[in-house]
Amino acid sequence: MSFRLTFVCTGNICRSPMAEAIARQWADKEGLDVDVDSSGTGSWHVGDDADPRTVETLRLAGYASNHTARQFDPADFTDCDLIVAMDSGHLRALRRLAPDAETQAKVRLLRDFDPAAGDDLNVPDPYYDDAEFSCVRELIEAAMPGLFDEIRRREQ
């Protein structure tokens, strides 16, 4: 059975679809059976494609992107093995929605998996600053080795 991983940001058009595309390629490269998707805490972009700047940033770095935004569904708590929040606001919102402590433990910050992150565990929202998209990609990529170590550990 696949390990189920979802990334969550605000509108599901910038950070979380970028993390989804990067993690999907990592899973393929690692030969791991990981089902990856993403969602947003808000509903205003449901049905939209990823932000064009996200798509371009991914393309320039060699990642494929085919994304349609959706809102996080409480059923994801049951369906997912790991729910990865992009910043502390998403982490708090998701943990408030979680039905119990065991489910809350499934929710982690992406940068928790980057040992070089230090105390700054938020992935900034690039929506209002075009220059931030490549920085966000770099932060996401830096967390992938630790994230996939965690996935391999959980699959054993």
Q: Could you read off the pLDDT of 100-139 as tens digits, one per residue? A: 999 999 999 999 999 999 999 999 999 999 999 999 999 9
pLDDT tens, position by position, 142-153 = 999 999 999 999
CATH code, 17? 3.40.50.2300
Domain tally for the chain? 1
What gap in Å lies between CA 43 and CA 24, rounded to an integer? 24
pLDDT tens, position by position, 53-109 = 999 999 999 999 999 999 999 999 999 999 999 999 999 999 999 999 999 999 999
| Domain encompassing residue 54 | 3-155
Active site residues: 9, 15, 125
Q: pTM surpassing 0.75? A: yes
pLDDT tens, position by position, 16-55 = 999 999 999 999 999 999 999 999 999 999 999 999 999 9
Task: State the SS3 of 89-145.
Answer: HHHHHHHHHCCCHHHHCCEEEHHHHCCCCCCCCCCCCCCCCCCHHHHHHHHHHHHHH
